[in-house]
Amino acid sequence: MKHFLDIADWTRTDLQALLDQAVALKKEHKKHGNAPLLKGKTLALVFQKPSLRTRVSFELAMHHVGGYAFYLSPQEIGLGKRESIADVARVLGGYADMVMARTFDHAHITGLAEWSPVPVINGLTDYNHPCQGMADLLTMYEEFGQLEGLHLAYLGDSNNVLTSLIMGAAQFGIKVTVGSPAGYQPQESVIQKAYDLSGGTLDITVTTDPVAAITGADVVYTDTWTSMGQEAEAEDRRQVFPPFQVNDDLLAHAAEHAIVMHCLPAHRGEEITDAVADGPQSRLFPQAENRLHAQKAILVELLGATPKTKAPQEVKAAKALKKAPKKAKKSKK
Ligand code: CP
Ligand code: NVA
């Protein structure tokens, strides 16, 4: 059974095929609407946390390809509490053709996948956010026409979103610099997994110096300082994260052509200023839109409905990258 739980589980070739398919489906959707590739198919959406983008983009992606999605709120099911994960997986699999779940504990999504008779999609856990990662790769690919050799700087909390970005970087040869305060840097296990995934070629640097992290970056990424489930720590986090705020002064150290990304929801005035979020370098809203297209490609692929004849899609890159990829390096300070 094929699931979509982690960018690290898929090969680079398969991920590139998903991106190509996403580009094709996006083009088709904008031109005259999508073909009904998933006619009559159903998707269960299980949420243990709130959502805007993930819920709406999955519901509409299914609608666009002739399928149907239904939403189960955090108040329903009681995953692992009212009913065991194994039972929920088997019951839902008897009704729906696919299950997307957003959970706190990553073991809950892997548990669902283990017991589910139908494909399971990870819509965010405390550990990672692979659908977001795919939309982000699509956004960078459209912007620069290539992923290999890009420099992605991530500023702020080393959370679930960063984990998926690091796995994507490992797969596609993107250089990563992470600027985070001590105590909020990526787990060694995440870096090691990505390094192994890349066959020892991942170029990643972790630093407590935000200027060093952002200098020369093609893509500047940030996310909330306090993720869902960490609300009790919000005040403590507000004390240590301000030097990592993506504002005009910090952004001035990135490449002149740099774009700014954020998975949203944004806490304007905290991890990002209004001026940057709404400024000319911001890609926040095209990035949010790309959730729809990237996930549509995943849904179609998981049910084996990807059209076989589609040639690799050309993206008309907004900007061409004019530099060679740098040599491999792995360091942490
Ligand atoms: N970026 C993202 O996953 O947004 P939602 O929490 O609104 O789904
Ligand atoms: N890191 C954030 C992402 C929200 C989409 C969180 O987990 O709350």
Taking the model in full, what pTM does it have? 0.95
Distances (CA, A) of 180 to 117, 158, 188, 221, 279: 40, 7, 14, 12, 23
Q: Do 44 and 161 sit in the same domain of this protein?
A: no
Instruction: Count Cα atoms within 13 angstroms, Cβ side, for 150.
Output: 32
Ligand 2 pocket residue status of 240, Cβ below 6 Å? no
Expressed in angstroms and rounded, the spacing between residue 52 Cα and the centre of ligand 1 is 5
Which of 48, 122, 131, 160 gets mutated to test ligand 2 (max ligand atoms within 8 A of its CB)? 160
In this structure, how many other beta carbons lie within 10 angstroms of the beta carbon of residue 249?
A: 10
Q: Which domain holds residue 112?
A: 7-129+291-302
Ligand 2 pocket residue status of 263, Cβ below 6 Å? yes
Per-residue pLDDT of the chain (333 residues; tens, 9 = 90+): 899 999 999 999 999 999 999 999 999 999 999 999 999 999 999 999 999 999 999 999 999 999 999 999 998 988 888 899 999 999 999 999 999 999 999 999 999 999 999 999 999 999 999 999 999 999 999 999 999 999 999 999 999 999 999 999 999 999 999 999 999 999 999 999 999 999 999 999 999 999 999 999 999 999 999 999 999 999 999 999 999 999 999 999 999 999 999 999 999 999 999 999 999 999 999 999 999 999 999 999 999 998 875 566 667 777 776 654 444 455 554
Q: Do 70 and 186 sit in the same domain of this protein?
A: no
Distances (CA, A) of 94 to 2, 64, 119, 204: 17, 23, 12, 43
Q: Is 101 domain-assigned?
A: yes
Which atom of ligand 2 is found nearest the CA of 227?
8
Expressed in angstroms and rounded, the spacing between residue 130 Cα and the centre of ligand 1 is 12
Q: Which domain CATH number covers 207? A: 3.40.50.1370
- Give 91-143 as a DSSP string: HHHHH-SEEEEE-SSHHHHHHHHHH-SS-EEE---SS--HHHHHHHHHHHHHH
Tokens of 231: 């609300």
Nearest CA to ligand 2 atom 1: 227
Nearest CA to ligand 1 atom 5: 51
In a 3-state reduction of DSSP, which class is residue 42?
A: strand
Q: Do 104 and 24 sit in the same domain of this protein?
A: yes
